[in-house]
Amino acid sequence: KAGVTQTPRYLIKTRGQQVTLSCSPISGHRSVSWYQQTPGQGLQFLFEYFSETQRNKGNFPGRFSGRQFSNSRSEMNVSTLELGDSALYLCASSLGSGGTYGYTFGSGTRLTVV
Amino acid sequence: GQQLNQSPQSMFIQEGEDVSMNCTSSSIFNTWLWYKQDPGEGPVLLIALYKAGELTSNGRLTAQFGITRKDSFLNISASIPSDVGIYFCAGPANSGAGSYQLTFGKGTKLSVIP
């Protein structure tokens, strides 16, 4: 059974650009959540999608957005990149929403903004 | 919102020693999860706890769901070098309107000295 796949693994972008990250969940998982991980703030919840609907959103500016497709694959987009957006972005999938049964995480996309 | 306070922040121990770390909250959690993250990878679920007072083991790891439902403990016995990593507690926090999001503690960084 394939795990959660995130692409790309590494990305370098310039301030002001935009970026799109991709996540393929475990087959059968309908929930996909996104987290931002930085050394100072730990794992910060961005948003969760379940059956193509955004179920929950964390406390991030509108520059951070996401979507989920009918096959449960998800993308997140960050527009007008800032230096502080440099982080490890983690995607996680689950059978149900809300995290009660735990999430399976991908290896992450390391985004560096210069 | 509901926050999780993890301690200690970091630990240096000798190989073979036992390790204890804990997680507390001012709010009640109905589920406690413990994850481990290796460098460059996403967190991996170690143990899930669903009932107050529950004690669950996974090999050399044992975790307990506190009776008050406001804390949880993780113990690692006879530590080995591959135990190195960051350990996170997590739980579904009520984000309002009946929805939950998986919230993480800031992590305990474990270093094992051979």
Residue A22 neighbours by CB distance under 10 Å? 15
Inter-chain touch A107–B88, beta carbons under 8 Å: no
Identify the pLDDT of residue A95. Answer: 87
Contacts of A100 in chain B (CB under 8 A): 30-31, 92, 100
A48 vs B contacts (CB less than 8 Å): 101
Q: Average pLDDT, whole number, for chain B?
A: 93
Chain B residue numbers touching A4 (CB-CB < 8 A): 42
pLDDT for B1: 62
Bridge partner residues of B91 (DSSP) = B103
Work out the average pLDDT over B68-95. 94
In contact, B35 and B86? CB cutoff 8 Å: no
Determine, for residues B31 and A58 on separate chains, whether the beta-carbon distance falls below 8 Å: no
> pLDDT grade, residue B96 (50/70/90)?
confident
Contacts of A97 in chain B (CB under 8 A): 99-100
Numbered residues of chain A with Cβ closer than 8 Å to any chain B Cβ: 4, 33, 35, 42-43, 45, 48, 55-56, 58, 90, 92, 97-108
| B92 vs A contacts (CB less than 8 Å) | 98-100
pLDDT at B80: 97
Nearest to A6 by CA among A113, A110, A114, A94: A110
Q: Which of B40, B42, B99 sits opposite A98 (nearest CB)?
A: B99
In this prediction, residue A15 carries a pLDDT of 98
CA dist., res. A88 & res. A109, Å (int): 6
Give tens-digit pLDDT for B45-79.
999 999 999 999 999 999 999 999 999 999 999 99
pLDDT of residue A10: 97
Percentage with pLDDT > 90 across chain B: 83
pLDDT value of residue A92 = 96
Query: How far does the CA of residue B44 sit from the closest CA of chain A (Å)?
Result: 7
d(CA B6, CA B106): 6
Task: Convert chain A into a string of H (helix), E (strand) and C (coil).
Answer: CCCCEEECCEEEECCCCCEEEEEECCCCCCEEEEEEEECCCEEEEEEEEECCEEEEECCCCCCEEEEECCCCCEEEEECCCCHHHCEEEEEEEECCCCCCCCCEECCCEEEEEC
Residue segments in chain A with a per-residue pLDDT below the cut of 50: none
What is the SS3 assignment for B81?
helix
Which 42-101 residues of chain B touch chain A by CB within 8 A?
42-45, 48, 88, 90-92, 95, 99-101
User: What is the C-alpha to C-alpha distance for residues B35 and A102, in angstroms, rounded to an integer?
Assistant: 9
Query: Mind telling me how many Å the CA of B57 is from chain A's nearest CA?
Result: 17
